[in-house]
Amino acid sequence: MHDFEIEHTHYDQPLSPEESAARWGPELVVLNSVGVDIGSSTSHVIVSRLGLRRRGQTLSSRFEVVTRDIIYHSPILLTPYAAPYLIDAAALARFLNASYQEAGVQPSEIDTGAVIITGEAMRKENAPAIVELFAAEGGKFVCAVAGHKLEAVLAAHGSGAVEETLRKHRTILNVDIGGGTAKVAVVHGGAVRDVAAINVGARLLACDADGTITRLEPSLAPVLRHIGVPLELGRVLDPAVADRIADTLVDALFEVLERRPLSAVAESLMLTPPLGSVLPFNTVTFTGGVAEYIYGRQPREFGDLGRRLARRVRERAERSADIGRIGEPPHKLHATVIGASQHTVQLSGSTIFCPRPDLLPLRNLSVVSPIFSRKRFTREAIGDAIRHTLDRVELLDAEQPFALAVRWVAEPSYANLREFAEGLRDAAPKTLDDGTLALVFDRDLAQSVGQLLTTELGVRGNLVCLDEVELKPFDTIDIGAPAGRTRAVPVVIKSMVFA
């Protein structure tokens, strides 16, 4: 286009607020958003500018993201630790402030964002405190400590695999290999169907420039026993031993990917049950720090197992007949959220079921969104769908309140409402009797289901039912207290945004 002087637009270049307004009109809201990923071995920051346009008629209060312009990618930071089990919060704060400066934005100009702590970093002693530090920033941030299953789901969304299976009828095996763990997701039909995680990662072992071991994770112990080589901090690592460790780790990983019977060493490395899905894989994609080596994008060495693992994974994937062809996702290392958008929906008080108004407001409720089948809208199928979804995001029998988003696919008959209520009761009895649950429907069903659960099925827990709200996986919502003569309830929806 440059050679022929054809008039064109660089869509990969960030738009100024003025340019966004010119493109989308006066109904556009522009937000500065930040995504912070704190992982086992590396951390990074993404600053983006999101354009949200009012959806439908001009009187609608629902907005959707129409532009996503990443304006800054931070350099990779080796996640700082003040002690073996203590993240250095001060060093992270300095890194974040430096990222803001390089991005050309002030902290006060950040409207919203998302903070995710994953992998080994999740298990460090002060990880929850770091999440709360961001959450305290005026409620701007969606904060999550992602366990192994949720991290696999996040990586599948962030890599683009979920969206790809919506456009094309195929099954993608997304393998996210980070510093401490490898997370595997089976993606089909725009949804994650199965997940698994195993202790295979680049920084289970790390050395300084002289080859002296400076990091040795306890999760590597089964591998060292298997190869019969004891290691300890301060010892110089023999490259041949490092090769044997990498070979053993990759062997164990491919037992999981190819769904073969697990060896004793693979069993000892598993963090979740192995894959149970029998779907044939069309494509395998890789994300995480090791993926940068797999696809030849990272020249830098970090003194760990990353390059060794990547070479062996690539070789095994090329000759494997069980995992499909190798594909390259659009987002690899940054296969996480780029931030969060935020908008408010007003709900009519007459459509809300809330026996205890004193429960409100409820804040920062994670949204879970099961997929139901119109053809199999039965108590058993509904219960299975809810149970499997809660398990994937690690909210099965969870103590903290959360929101269940229900996209209704059946006729709103009493029989179907009863099937749904009984399926929910089967899947989440502890939550319904001892916890707090917000049921959010996309249709006018809140009063009916709420009355059915409490009056007919005897649910004793704290229950709030809302309707006429559309939510997505990884949304977080705040439900305000009823206000005004209409008793309308404000619901603030904070949606994670992927590149």
- 59 within a domain of the structure (yes/no): yes
Q: Is 420 within a domain?
A: yes
The beta-carbon contacts of 257-264 under 8 Å, at least 24 apart in sequence, are 257/173, 257/175, 257/184, 257/284, 257/320, 257/322, 257/323, 258/320, 258/322, 258/323, 259/322, 264/226
Q: Do 175 and 247 lie in a common domain?
A: yes
| Residues 54 and 72 sit within 8 Å (Cβ to Cβ) | no
Q: Return d(Cα 172, Cα 393) in angstroms, integer.
A: 19
Q: In this structure, what DSSP letter does residue 203 have?
A: G
Same domain, 191 and 306: yes
In a domain, 102, yes or no: yes
- Higher-confidence residue of 302 and 335: namely 302
Same domain, 130 and 232: no
In this model, does residue 453 exceed pLDDT 80? yes
Confidence of residue 184 (pLDDT cuts 50, 70, 90): very high
Specify the 3-state DSSP secondary structure of 87. Answer: strand
Asked if residue 317 and residue 172 are part of one domain, the reply reads: yes
244 has a pLDDT exceeding 90: yes
Strands (E), 288-386: 325-326, 337-347, 362-368
Report the pLDDT value the prediction gives residue 12, as an integer from 0 to 100.
44
pLDDT of residue 20: 52
399 and 282 in a common domain: no
Are 186 and 171 in contact by the 8 Å Cβ rule? The answer is yes
Determine the Cα–Cα distance for residues 165 and 198; give it in Å rounded to an integer.
24
Q: Which residue has the higher pLDDT, 45 or 378?
A: 378
Nearest Cα residue to 44 out of 499, 367, 472: 499
Q: What is the number of structural domains in the chain?
A: 3
Say which residue the tokens 């346009």 belong to: 53
φ, ψ dihedrals at 29, nearest 5°: -115, 130
- In this prediction, residue 126 carries a pLDDT of 65
Partners of 174 in the beta sheet?
185, 285
pLDDT score of 194: 92
Instruction: Give the pLDDT confidence score for residue 236 in this predicted structure.
Output: 95
Q: How much is the pLDDT for 58?
A: 43
Question: Does 86 reside within a domain?
Answer: yes
Residue 53 lies in a domain: yes
CA atoms within 13 A on the CB side of 109: 12
Pair 277, 367 in one domain: no
Domain boundary among 146, 170, 191: 146
Q: What is the pLDDT of residue 3?
A: 44
Same domain, 138 and 224: no
- Shared domain for 166 and 306, answered yes or no, is yes
Mean pLDDT of the chain: 82
The CA distance from 319 to 113, in Å, is 41
Which of 33-47, 260-274, 362-376, 388-402 is the least confident region?
A: 33-47
How buried is residue 376: exposed, middle or buried, by Cβ count under 10 Å (0-12/13-18/19+)?
Answer: exposed
Strand 171-177 with 182-188, pairing: antiparallel
pLDDT per residue as tens digits for the range 115-168: 777 755 666 666 666 766 665 554 566 666 667 888 888 888 888 898 899 888
Percent of the chain with pLDDT over 70: 80
Question: Within a domain: residue 3?
Answer: no
Q: Residues with Cβ < 8 Å from 301, sequence gap 6 or more?
A: 307
Q: 165 and 112: one domain?
A: no
185-213 per-position pLDDT tens digit: 999 998 889 999 999 999 899 999 999 99
Look at residue 9 in the predicted model and tell me its pLDDT: 42
Indicate whether 84 pLDDT > 70.
no
Q: Are the beta carbons of 350 and 460 closer than 8 angstroms?
A: no
Grade residue 252 by pLDDT with cuts at 50, 70 and 90. Answer: very high
pLDDT of 38: 81
* Mean pLDDT within 342-352: 60
| CATH number of the domain enclosing 315 | 3.30.420.40
pLDDT score recorded for residue 63? 63
Q: Which residue has the higher pLDDT, 464 or 140?
A: 464
pLDDT per residue as tens digits for the range 10-29: 444 545 545 555 554 556 67
Contacts for 51 with CB less than 8 Å, ≥ 6 apart? 15, 20, 24, 28, 29, 30, 65, 66, 67, 68, 69
Single out the residue in 112, 146, 180 at which a domain terminates. 146
- Statement: residue 319 has pLDDT above 80: yes
**Is the pLDDT confidence value at 373 over 50?**
yes
How sure is the predictor about 336, in pLDDT bands with cuts at 50, 70 and 90? low
State whether 169 and 302 are in the same domain. Answer: yes
The model's pLDDT over 420-431, given as tens digits with 9 standing for 90+, comes to 999 999 999 999
Domain hosting 88: range is 17-146
> Comparing 77 with 321, which gets the higher pLDDT?
321
Stretch 459-469: mean pLDDT:
89
pLDDT at 237: 95
Q: Are residues 128 and 268 in the same domain?
A: no
Is residue 90 situated within a structural domain?
yes
* Mean pLDDT for the stretch of residues 269-294: 92
Report the 10 Å Cβ neighbour count for 383.
20
From 91, 118, 146, give the residue that closes a domain: 146
Is 307 among the domain residues? yes
Which one has a higher pLDDT value, 49 or 451?
451
User: Would you state the pLDDT for residue 23?
Assistant: 54
pLDDT for the residue 112:
75
Looking at the fold, whether 99 and 200 belong to one and the same domain comes out as: no
